[in-house]
Each structure stands twice: as C-alpha cells, then as structure tokens.
Amino acid sequence: MGSIDRDLQGIYDSERDATRTPAGLVDVVARRAGRRRGSAIAGTAAAGLAVVGLVASLGVAVARNSEPVTTPDQPIEVNMYVGPTQGWQNEGAMDLVEFCGEAAPQTKPISEYFTLSSNVESLADDLSTDVTFHVDTFAGTSEITGTERSGVLQITSRIDGAGGLMQGWLFVQDGIVVGYVDNVTPGTDPLTGVRTWEDGGSTLLTANTSVAVSCEAGEMADDPFWLVGDAYVYGPSPASILPAGDYEAYPVVRIEASDKTDARRTLAASGISTSLVGPGRLAEPGSWDCQQATEAAGLTPIDCVEGLYDQAWAIATVTVPPEFQSPDIDVTLVGVPLPYSRTGEAVVEEPESQWTTEHTYGMCSHGLVDGFWQTDGLPPSLVSPQGFAVLDPLLANSSLTTSAGILDDPQDDGTLEGIVDFEVLLATDLDDSPRFTFAGSARATINDGGPIILDRYSGPTTVTLTLSDVTWCGDPPPEGTVLSAAITGSAVFAPTGGDPSEVAVVLWIAPNGLPWD
Amino acid sequence: MGAWRGLLAEVVRTRHASLLAYGYLLTSSRADAEDLVQDALVKVFSRVRTLPNAAAADQYVRRAMLTLYLDRRRRDHAWNLVKRIVTTDDGVAGPEDSVTASTDVRASLAALSPRERACVVLRHFDDLSVREIAGRLGLAEGSVKRYLSDGLKRLGVEMTDDGATVTVVAHGREGRN
C-alpha cells in the first residue's frame, strides 16, 4: 500500500475515533426523509389526481377531500438541525439535474390544492421575457358548486398558511430532458423565503433572466467558476449552456408547507431570521458579529438568539403557536410545455476591461500566484484572519500606510504577532462583478510586527497596515478599480489560553466592506 | 415505525463515525462532514427503495456524500472562490490535529480542489480504478487522470500514465509501483 493510501487511512481512523453522534440525529434525519418519502408517494397519487383536476377544469363537478378540519389549539415544538455550513435548508428545493436523460415529465398542472397556468404561448429566446404563472387555490375556481364547494372550503381553510416555493424549467428534445433552469426567482418573501397563501389567492411567479444549463455539460455544470482568458469568472461557462435548437420547455413549480416553514414564519414574526451570521461558523449571542448582522439584515440571525439555538448540537428549537401551524403540503406541478426556440448561442458576459485579460496572474511570476496558494516552506497549521481597508491609494503610490480592521476567521481567538515584510498578492475586486484579477505584488507589515488581538466577540481590531514595494503585473489598474490584498507569511499565534506557535498566515484584506458583504 | 427507520437507526448507530471520517476526507472539515453525512442520509432514506442491510446502506450513503459534496460547490459564493484561490479551507487542520504523521497530508489535502480531492480519495482510499472513478463522478477518464495527477502533485506524489500506480517523490517515503 502506498504512502498516500496509508496517510488517508490514518486520517480516516483518527477522525472516526474522534467523532461523536449527536443525540436526536436519527429523529432529525427520519423527519426530513419521511417528509420526502411522503411526497414521493403523494406524487405517484398526484398523477391520478392530475387527470381528475383536468376534468374539473372543464367544468365537471368532482368529489374532493372532505376530511374534517382540525384546528390546532396547542403550540408545537419544531427541532431543526441548522449546521454551521449549510445553515437552515430552504424548503422546496428541486434538483432538476436529476431529470437529465429521463423521458419528458408527465404534465401535472393541477394538484389537490393548486393549479398552475401560464399566460404566454412560447418562451423568449434568451429567457429574458417575463413569463408569469398563476398558482391558484381551488377556492377561486368558479366551477365548483354544491357539496364539492363545502369540501373545497375545508381544503382551502387548511391551506391558509405558509409554504416554500421553487420554480424551474426542464428543456426536452425528442422526448428526453436535455437541459434545465433552476432557482428561478421564487414568489416568496425575500426575508423569510416563505409564501403566505390565502383562501382563493394566487401568486405570480416571474421567470427572470436565467441561464439554461445543458445536461451534456456534465462536470462543467457543477462548476460555476471558469476561465475567460486568464481571469476567473463566476457564472456558467459557455460549454455548460443549452445549445441553439428547438425545445419543449416544461415549467416546474414545487410548493412545500411543513413544520419547517411554520417555524420559519414564526421566527420572522419575532424578527429572527433562519440565517446564520456567516457561512462555516457560528456566532455568540451578544457578539459584534451578531450586532453587525442584525443591523445589516434587519433580522437577528438564529445563532444570535440566546436559548433558541443549541450550538453544541446545532439544533434550533422553535415553538410554533397554533396560528402559525399549517398542514403538510408538498406538491410538484408540471405545466403544459411551451415551445422554445434558441436561435443564438448563449450570451455570457465577457470581461470587458482591456487590462483584465492582459494583466493576469498567469503573467506574473510571483510565488503566490499559481492559482492556489502554495504551502511549501510554511508551517502546516494555518491562521486565516480577514480584514478590510481601502487600498485604492496604492494605484497612485508605490507604498501606503493605512488603518485596517482585522478579524479572525474562523474563530481562532488569540494574539498574532510578527507580520513583518510579508508577501502580498494584489487583486482587483470589481464592483458589481464577482470576478477578480490578480494585478500585482507588494510587501506588508502590520503594527510594526507587534501583536494583533483576534477576538471575534469584540469585533475587528484596528491596526496599522503598511504596504510597500508595489510591483504591478503590467500597467497599474485604472482609476476606479477596487483593490484587495492577500497577505501571507509565517508568524507566531498564541490562541487564547494556549501556547504560542509558528503558523502560516493568510490574511485577506477586502475592499471597504465587511468580510461577509 | 417503518423498517427503513429501523435501518436508519442502525446505520447511525454503527456507521455514523466512519461516515463522518469519510466526509472529513472529502471536505477537510468536521462541520462540513457533519452536514454532508446528514444530507446524504436524508437523500438515501428519502427514496422508497429496499436496502437489504446497513452495509448496503453505508455504500449508498457514501455515494450520496460524494455527489452532494460536488454538487454543493455550485452554490458557493464568490467570496468563497476568492478564499479558495488564495488560501485553504476553514477546516484545515489546527494545532490539535497536527500530532500525527499525516499532518502534511491533511494540510495538503485541504488545499486540493474538490474534484481533485474526490478523485484522490476514491483512488487511494476507496481503491477504485480510474475507469470506476470516471463512472462514479460522470467524468471522462482523461479528466480523472488529470485531477489525480494535479492532486497527487500537490500532495507530493507523481502518477504514471495509466493512473494505476504512484511513486512518492516527497516526504521521503516510497510508494507502490
């Protein structure tokens, strides 16, 4: 067995022995899986119901669910696993890629509770024309009369609640799904991610500009990062986009109401969001992180609420009062397909800046600039604080001394010392664009090598940052460019209550804003 | 309680630790591994299928972990891209993890791209062939070889053309030929 094999096995064994199983994990998984199993079974039944619904839309009276209404009168406790990385999972997620290669879906525009209808006869070439869909409850269907109406009233009173919404498209050629669009703008409250339904109400789901992904893209579709010239670009690559041709476009809408959406709505009513302060980490209630996040979002992140979130087990317990309790609903509606002709190649914005492609990291012979930061020669353990400062004066000067705010990330509270003459990678971080370009190199010293206090609870520490020996990859970036910097080297870190040791440091200085902006 | 719930309980009781360890190999982060394992369990046990025993379920879950791990990258924020380019993941080994001989591999593994890491784990932990990895990940065999080559190079190992054998050229260790 090779060394790598042994090393991997060693890591595996070490991790296996060091882990513990959270109490309640089986219940949490079973609840999530059980809901999906239920929807899968209901989906099978819905195929039959769709036929019934179509008949109803033609004016034929149909017997409906006359199950007695059970009005909740007690609060319930909803326990949610909210992991530090994934956070609170949104409702109604659809993995449309799973339809790839399958036969065209069966059209199911009517379910037990909802109907789906569109107001257009075809899709615009670039998907940019708004297409509106009505999702109506049956209470608005005038054909329902007599006995059926009383049943409908019972049903509609039961669906007066909240639900998650997702919308997407499947593209079919020769009867086979060959592409898809998901994550089309849902008709939900942007703060809560929940749509509140009323008796007889309807909502408009607007398909805005989205990129149709080709099933043929395979691995490319998984990777939103690609290269234009030598610059990394965030977005779909040309190879992943549905090619020109004639398709049938099937609208797909999923609506889910559950104890989770009830809990989400309950929290929102109390000014609490289901978001965590930051991806990959949890915040302490009362911390600077919590203050900042609450001010920015207008809602308090769930990990900032004392007594609501169990950090040890990443479980949030929400008490849902009767007025926020909805029945479980999980329906997927597939609308009548619309003709869709793509005449041109997909439009992907190319980097327009003349220097973006000219001054690339590939043209810089800098030790840092090799696509990935290399760890050669540096200690294996890593401290990766983040900071923010305005670096734009560097465009007109070869050196700069300025103030910077430094935060530890993740929460490695302690003291960092010895940042002197570190290597600096300068990058551009263009406003309104997620792409960036490596622009040059420099040297950095912070606090003349003196200590930097890293305390996530208290917030950023103000330091003096000195950048010198700036070397651009070519011409300096133009005015108006926003600069960022990655500062790296070896320093001494003393964790709170621990012994100091030499560590690798990668300090990312973001322009202006806070790290999570 | 359905039979599937009983099997789920057995899988969690007997295999959760090893699944988390496998998740760590993929993600280099215990937090990410916990998320990954739970999501994979949900995915596997959501399907109305017959799983004969915990061992079979374990294999399904591991496959689901791999798929979810690679899919999740689609939803990464641009900020994470920036961090990925200039540094390693948050979950890189800290001082408390640095006591074993595999410390260097932990750090280097964390610096690999997700696909590189997936290919390395499948080849050198799951012992799959290049063809099997290609089938598992939906990639061309050439792509797998490239990911393996790039990944192993970062780990200090070179790979022969067929991807089946490796020679260790760093860390002063010998590999298999």
| Residues counted in chain B | 177
| Residue B55 domain-assigned (yes or no) | yes
- Give the tens place of pLDDT for each residue, A65-118: 334 344 567 888 888 878 776 677 666 567 777 788 889 998 877 776 677 766
| Residue B161 domain-assigned (yes or no) | no
Place of tokens 């070397």: A471
Selected for mutation to probe chain B from A3, A216, A222 (highest B CB count within 10 Å) is: A3
Selected for mutation to probe chain A from B36, B75, B90 (highest A CB count within 10 Å) is: B90
Structure confidence at residue A238 as a pLDDT band (50, 70, 90): low
Which residues is B158 bridged to in the sheet?
A: B167
The pLDDT, as a whole number, for residue A231 is 42
| Residue B149 domain-assigned (yes or no) | no
Measure A137 CA to nearest chain B CA, in Å. 28
* Cα gap B93→B110, rounded to integer Å: 8
Selected for mutation to probe chain A from B58, B83, B85, B119 (highest A CB count within 10 Å) is: B85
Measure B64 CA to nearest chain A CA, in Å. 13
Closest in A29, A219, A373 to B139, CB measured: A219
Pairwise CB contact (< 8 Å): A4 & B108: no
The amino acid sitting at A508 is: W
- B positions 30-59 inside 8 Å of A (CB): 30-35, 38-39, 41-42, 45-48
Q: String of b and e for A229-263 (b: at least 16 CB within 10 Å)?
A: ebbbbbbbbeebbbeeeebbbbbbbbbbbbbbbbb
Q: Is a pLDDT exceeding 80 seen at residue A273? A: yes
Place of tokens 């689901």: B64
* Cα gap A92→A405, rounded to integer Å: 39
Pairwise CB contact (< 8 Å): B124 & A8: yes
| Residue B19 domain-assigned (yes or no) | yes
- The pTM assigned to this predicted structure is 0.53
Report the helix count and the strand count for chain A, using DSSP H and E. Answer: 6, 25
Of A158, A165, A157, A168, whose CA–CA distance to A192 is shortest? A165
Pairwise CB contact (< 8 Å): A279 & B77: yes
| Residue B44 domain-assigned (yes or no) | yes
Beta strands in A152-275 (DSSP E): 162-173, 176-184, 195-196, 202-206, 213-214, 225-228, 231-234, 245-257
- The answer to whether B177 contacts chain A (CB < 8 Å) is no
Selected for mutation to probe chain B from A1, A6, A19, A483 (highest B CB count within 10 Å) is: A19
- Give the tens place of pLDDT for each residue, A124-182: 776 654 555 555 554 433 332 222 222 232 333 344 566 677 778 899 999 999 988 87
Closest in A12, A26, A234 to B25, CB measured: A12
Residue with the larger pLDDT of the pair A203 and A289: A289
Structure confidence at residue B22 as a pLDDT band (50, 70, 90): very high
Q: String of b and e for B162-176 (b: at least 16 CB within 10 Å)?
A: ebeebebeebeeebe
Pairwise CB contact (< 8 Å): A30 & B70: no
- The answer to whether B76 contacts chain A (CB < 8 Å) is yes
* Cα gap A147→A137, rounded to integer Å: 17
* Torsion A172-A176-A181-A183 (CA) sign: positive
The alpha carbon of A193 is separated from its chain's Cα centroid by a whole number of angstroms, namely 12
Look up the domain containing B45 and give its range.
Answer: 1-75
ipTM score assigned to the predicted complex: 0.75
Q: Is a pLDDT exceeding 60 seen at residue B31? A: yes
| Residue B136 domain-assigned (yes or no) | no
| Residue B168 domain-assigned (yes or no) | no
| CA-based nearest residue in chain B for residue A39 | B46
* Cα gap A135→A228, rounded to integer Å: 40
Pairwise CB contact (< 8 Å): B45 & A26: no
* Cα gap B3→A173, rounded to integer Å: 40
| CA-based nearest residue in chain B for residue A372 | B85
Pairwise CB contact (< 8 Å): A508 & B87: yes
The pLDDT, as a whole number, for residue A90 is 65
Angle at A398 between CA A393 and CA A399, to 5 degrees: 70
- The answer to whether B17 contacts chain A (CB < 8 Å) is yes
| Residue B60 domain-assigned (yes or no) | yes
Cβ contacts below 8 Å, chain A against chain B, sum to: 229
Collect contacts of A154-159 with beta carbons under 8 A, ≥24 apart. Answer: A154/A65, A154/A66, A154/A67, A154/A68, A154/A69, A155/A64, A155/A65, A155/A112, A155/A113, A156/A113, A156/A199, A156/A200, A157/A69, A157/A199, A158/A69, A158/A327, A159/A113, A159/A197, A159/A257, A159/A326, A159/A327, A159/A329
Domains identified in chain B, total number: 1
The amino acid sitting at B9 is: A
A301 contacts A291 by C-beta, under 8 angstroms: no
Q: Is a pLDDT exceeding 80 seen at residue B25? A: yes
Strand duo B157-159 + A436-446: pairing: unpaired
Measure A97 CA to nearest chain B CA, in Å. 10
